[in-house]
Structures are given as C-alpha cells and as structure tokens.
A and B are shown apart, each in its own frame.
Chain A
Amino acid sequence: MGLILAAVGFGVITASILALAGVGFTLQFGVTNVLNLAFGSTMTAAAFVAYVVSQSAPLVVAVAAGGAFGAVFSVLVNRFVFMPFIHRGTRLFGMIIVTLSMGLVVQYSLQAIFGASFFSLPDIGGPTFHLGSFAITGPQVGILGLGLVAMACVHVLLRYTTLGKAMRATATNSDLARSCGIATDRVIDVAWAISGCLCGLAGVALALDVTAFTDTTGGDFLIPIIAVAVLGGVGQPYGAMLGALVVGVASEVAAAVISPDYKDAVAFVILILVLLVRPQGILAEVSGAKEVAS
C-alpha cells in the first residue's frame, strides 16, 4: 500500500512536466489549429539553451532563458514557416508533415551543433523530504513548483484577463471572434508565445528530471504529450492538466502494481478506454459549455 501511495506521489511529479507540455501543446492547437509535431524538438532546443546559459549563470536564469527561447522560437517558426503554408491553404495533414519536418530540422541541427552526446543541467541539490514511503527531492520540488506556478498563471490568464477571453473566443470560433472585433492574428501570435514559453519550460523541466538529455529527448516525449492533450480534449488546457494527472499517476501506479515494463502501455490503454467512452476527451464538453457561457 505504501508503495502505491508513493507511486501516486511520483505520478504527480511526472504529471507536472506533462501538464506544462500538454497545456502548451493543446493551447497551441486550440487557438491556431496547427498540430505542431515540432513541439518535442522545441522542448529539446530549449533545454540546450538552458544548458548553455547555465554554464555562466544561475540555474533559475537558465530556466527563464529556456522559457523565453521557447516563446520567441515558436512565434518565429509560426510566422516564417507555418503561416506561409497556412496562407497557401495547406490542409491539416500537410501541416502535420510540415511540423514533423520542422521538428527533424531542429533535432538534426542540435545534433550537428552539440554532437550526438548527452548533457546535464547543474544539480539543484537540496534535501530529500520523506513522507512515509514517499520521498521527494530538491529538484523534484522545483519541478513541481514550476508546474504549479505555470498552471496557475495559465488559469489566471484564461479566466481573468481580456487576452485570455480573446484566446478562448479565437479557439472556439476564430471567424466569429474576428467579426466581434478581436484581433485574431495578434491573439494567435500571443498564443504561440505563451504555448512556446510553456514548451520551453517543459523542456528544461524534462532535462532536469531525466538528468541526462540528448537531441532526441524531447521528441521521445511527444507521444505522451499528445496523449495528454487528446485525453483531456484537444484544445482544452484544463483537460490537458487533468490528462497529465491521469497519465502520470496511472503510469507510476502501473509500474508499482504490475511491472515497469507495462508503464507506458497502461497509460495508453487508459487513453483508448477513455476515448471509447468519450471520444471528445474528458473535459471537452464541460469546456465547450463554459466557452458558450462566458
């Protein structure tokens, strides 16, 4: 029993990274309608930026640099790579190929620049806190804190700011939003910046958590991110948060109860089961209703 409780706790830590990435990914798709498969590689690139900055600055600055890089890079990629294709009428499948290609360009560029090797961010250190069989280390507290703060910020942005309402309106119906006077192009730019920032922060958090990362680390994480987004209801940030919690906790409990070998499989079995019952994802309907209400 103690091990299962510990696994639930560990699942929450994993969920905090998944939530950062999943919310960024789903926000991006919800507002811009681009299923960005370069998301994982952008996470990796942000981790490398943080690594470079950490060589001469404190880790907190490196984390901020990773987030900033994710924001700027995402906006630029959208403006100069994705938008030209969208303006030419490239459809969803075509855009998926474009984003996949962009991801490979980023990954191979990182490999060319840094080499096919492994890198580590500086150790945060700090004490390990024990609560029964559950233990949490200094770096994990940092990652958990980062996830909670970022999610709180996203919540405040979406619920209590004009920009957040504009983003939600654009996500729900961009044509209607535009006809209501919302500058949807600017909203989309901001959405790319915010989701890119979350992507960058997720990349740095992932690099801190796995302790040794390489040019494929973020890309390997892409499938769980998509699973989280789909589970929560694509385009629904709150759904992604819940999805992250489900996937994170389910995979750790599976490792404790069944076998570590089934860790990933169980999370995806849950995904399939949920989608069989609710094809729109866990929170899609609730969120949809709220969009109409607001």
Chain B
Amino acid sequence: MRPRTRSLLAAATLACAGLAALDGAAAAAHRAPAAHPSRATLTVGEFNPFSGPDASFGPEMVGGCIPAVRLINLDGGVMGHPITCLVEDTRGDPADAVPAADKMMATVSNLVGVLGPSSDEALATVPLLNRGQVPMFVDTGQAAFDHSPYPYFWRITPADDVKGYALALWAHRAGYTRAAAVFGSDVGSQSDVPTLVKAFKQLGGHIVINQRIALDSTSYRTEVEKLVQARPQVIFTEVDPQTGATYLSELQQLHGLIPVIGTEVTLEAPWLKAVTGAIGAGAMARDFTGMQPYAPPSGPAWATFNGSLLHSSASVPQPRQWSQDPYSMTYYDGVNIMALAMLAARSTKPSRFNRDIPLVTEPGPGKVVVTSFAMGKAELAKGRRIQYVGAGGPIVFNRWHNSTGAFEAARLVGGQVKIIGEVTAAQIAQLSGH
C-alpha cells in the first residue's frame, strides 16, 4: 500500500514530471559534450502512475531517472548515444496502462528499457513489455512475480511478501514472542500478512490476534479493546496514515501504547506526520520502529546519486525529498545497470544487452566493484569485468530475476528518521528458504 493522492494533484504532478523529464533531457544534452549529437537518443520510459490514486509514485521515479541520465550524459552517453527519461503515465489503472504500453513501444524510437510498472498495472503490462523485448526494472511488490518467467523482468526492490520476514525477524531479535497483526483490509497491506504469520511462527512466536482493519473509520475503539484483551507484546502494522493515527491514539488514550513495528509505508512522510500529530513525538520515538528496504544514505554510490540529484533541481522539483528514498535510489540504479549492460554487450539493442544485466551486477572472482556509471564504463573500457553496487546497495539476481536485498529498521527521533539496525538478505533467505 502506498499513499493516496487525488487527481488534481496528480494532473499537476504529471505536468511537472513531464516538464521535468523534458527539461532534464535538454539540460543533460547541454552538458554532454562527449556524446555524439548525431547519434540517436536512447530513451528510458518512466512507466508508472503520474495521475490517479497512486500519482505519488511517478515523481519518485523522476527523482531516480533524471540524476542517472544526467551523469551518463555528462560522461559521454552510452557508446556516444545521449540518453533521456520519458514520462509514460499509466494512471495506476490497467485499462490505461495497456494502451500506454502499446503506444510507447510503437512510437518511441530507441526505447532501451523502462522503469516500472508498479503493482497497479504490472500483471497486465509485464507480459506486454516482455513480448516487446523491453527490459523493465519494476517496482511492483506483487508476490506473483517471485518466480517470474519473463526474461525482460528485473526486480531490485523487495517483494511485498518479503516484508513479512523482515518484520518477524526484527521482532524476534527484540525478544517479542506474542504479537498482533493490524493491517488494512486493502490488497497491498494484506499481501504482507501470510509470510509475517508464517515467519513469526517459524521463529517461535505467536500472532495472538490478526486484525483486518476497515480503513478510515471514525473509531477503532472496539478493535483496540480486542487487541488489548489478546495481550500482545508488539503490534505489526501497515495501514494508511489516518487509520494509523486514529487506531494508535485510541490505544494510547484507552490503555497506553505498546511497541509498534511497521512496514516501509509507516516510514513515509504523511504517515509519520499524521501519527506523530496523534500520539506525540515522544511516544513515536519510544514505541515505533519502521522497516524499509535497506538503502542507507551513505557510501560512494549514494553520494554520487545524491550529488547528481541535488544538481537536478531544474528538472526534479524539490530534489532533496528523494535523497533518502529507497525507490528513487533503485530507479537510479536500474538506469545505470541497463547502461552498463549495453556497454558490456557492446549493443544498445535490448535483445542483446538484456542477458548481460546480471553480468554487471553479480559478484565474482576478479570483478572490479564499481559504484557509478562512469567507474563502470572506465573499467569495462579496460577490458575488466565489473560488479555494480548501487545507491540501494549490492544487487544479486536469483534465477527469477529478483534481488531481495536487505531491510533496515528506523525510528523517528527529533523529527528525523534514524536507522537503528538491519535485517540482512541472508537472514531473510534463510527464513524464507529461497
């Protein structure tokens, strides 16, 4: 589940994002003396909702794509080809996304790949894009793609069902054995629950109450009473901001808070603002922990990403808001991986470079670790093999083109999200058996 927005904002966002993408490409072209102007511009599609209920996804993608193409173009492009990002609005609806995908593949020349689709339209459009031989770095979390049969499908963000393992591991590490699951009744939130229940049980814990919550009710007092009667030591949760604020404030008022461990949704700014306003900053700092895909805002890859992002203010509105956004980082990484795979395959044809994607990300003996496109390009030019470690961390694809990655635990302290620990990919893999 991701934040809701409405169509007016979405339309404005779409317009801004579109302008940003065009502006960004123009600005990048200006700063790319080494790229051959005569060579065709390569296009990366930003295939996500820029309007509709999930219009917030699109700008997050722009915050990753623009910094990546900016740096690639500054470094002379991909084999002399400039590269650009193109907004393709799916409206978060398969009915709009399918014709949008068809149109994009039919009309965009030199389409080398897409970022997306999201969960809203992935089931309908992944087969289409795969048939069109378009590499896609998806941001859908749907478990249906855990064993993806599509060769052009690549996922470097954790699947929704993986979150359950991360939450369970963190609670187990903290010594909790009795937990409550309080999740919204929407599909996105509920997709976390089965693995959470299974994993917590595997670790010796017990889910004492599992509540499917109707979102945005005026009151959850009865639900809170049932929760308290079950005597949990900790609450696992993913609900929208208003629901979270109402539920937790009523729990606090009626019986006092108990520790809460939330998914990455609970670390998004609207959730933090709403719930902090309802239960107070002190209670948030003391009782709340959120788990999100591991993407620490540190290290050379992140520094390169962030530097380029902050220099993209002409194309990315308020770029600083995406500095610590794990999704923006993975979109940035997706563009870099495709560009490096093109260099490795010596071809900008997707059907040629797609199979080389794992070659530039997986570790191996004799490989040189690179943290940017420029570093990778230089090493490949010397005939060396590379392992790209991105702003979002190391990427190791399994046979189904999924790279699970790790999770980090964070708290809100003094109004700032502070990372307090990590659940590693190996721990998740051990628990999930994958």
Contacts and interface: CB of A to CB of B under 8 A. Distances in A.
B225 A6 contact: yes
B401 to A, nearest CB: 34
B210 to A, nearest CB: 10
A116 B213 CA distance: 23
Nearest to B246: A210
23 contacts: A3-B229, A6-B222, A10-B222, A13-B219, A14-B219, A17-B218, A107-B6, A111-B9, A116-B5, A118-B242, A118-B274, A206-B218, A209-B219, A211-B245, A211-B246, A212-B245, A212-B273, A252-B221, A259-B211, A260-B220, A263-B214, A263-B217, A264-B217
A260 B214 contact: yes
Interface string A32-58: 000000000000000000000000000
Which among A135, A210, A251, A253 has the highest number of chain B CB atoms within 10 Å?
A210
B275 interface: yes
Interface of B: 5-6, 8-9, 185, 211-214, 216-223, 225-226, 229, 241-242, 245-246, 249-250, 253-255, 270, 273-275, 277-278, 280
A213 B254 contact: no
Interface in A1-27: 3, 6-7, 10, 13-14, 17
Contact of A255 (B6, B9, B223, B253): B223
A212 B277 contact: yes
Interface string A254-265: 011001110110
B192 to A, nearest CB: 16
Contact of A119 (B212, B214, B250, B277): B277
Which among A108, A116, A133, A211 has the highest number of chain B CB atoms within 10 Å?
A211
B9 A10 contact: no
Interface majority SS (helix, strand, loop, mixed), chain B: helix
A101 interface: no
A211 B278 contact: yes
B222 A220 contact: no
A3 B220 CA distance: 13
Nearest to A112: B8
Given A120-B274, A212-B274, A261-B185, 14 more contacts: A3-B226, A108-B8, A116-B6, A116-B270, A118-B274, A128-B254, A133-B225, A135-B254, A206-B218, A212-B242, A253-B222, A256-B225, A260-B214, A260-B220
Contact of B213 (A107, A112, A210, A260): A260
A74 interface: no
A111 B185 CA distance: 26
A211 B220 CA distance: 12
Contacts of A259: 211-212
A128 B8 CA distance: 42
Interface majority SS (helix, strand, loop, mixed), chain A: helix
Contacts of B229: 3
Nearest to B221: A10
A162 interface: no
B253 A210 contact: no
A214 interface: yes
Which among A10, A133, A139, A206 has the highest number of chain B CB atoms within 10 Å?
A10
B245 A261 contact: no
Contacts of A137: 250, 253-254
A10 B219 contact: yes
Contact of B222 (A3, A108, A118): A3
A51 to B, nearest CB: 10
A249 to B, nearest CB: 10
A184 interface: no
Nearest to A123: B280
Contacts of B185: 261
Contacts of B211: 259-260
A118 B226 contact: no
A117 interface: yes
B230 to A, nearest CB: 11
Which among B214, B220, B221, B223 has the highest number of chain A CB atoms within 10 Å?
B221
A139 B246 CA distance: 13
A263 B247 CA distance: 15
A251 B219 CA distance: 10
A135 B273 CA distance: 27
Contacts of B226: 3, 255-256, 260
B225 A118 contact: no
Contacts of A82: none
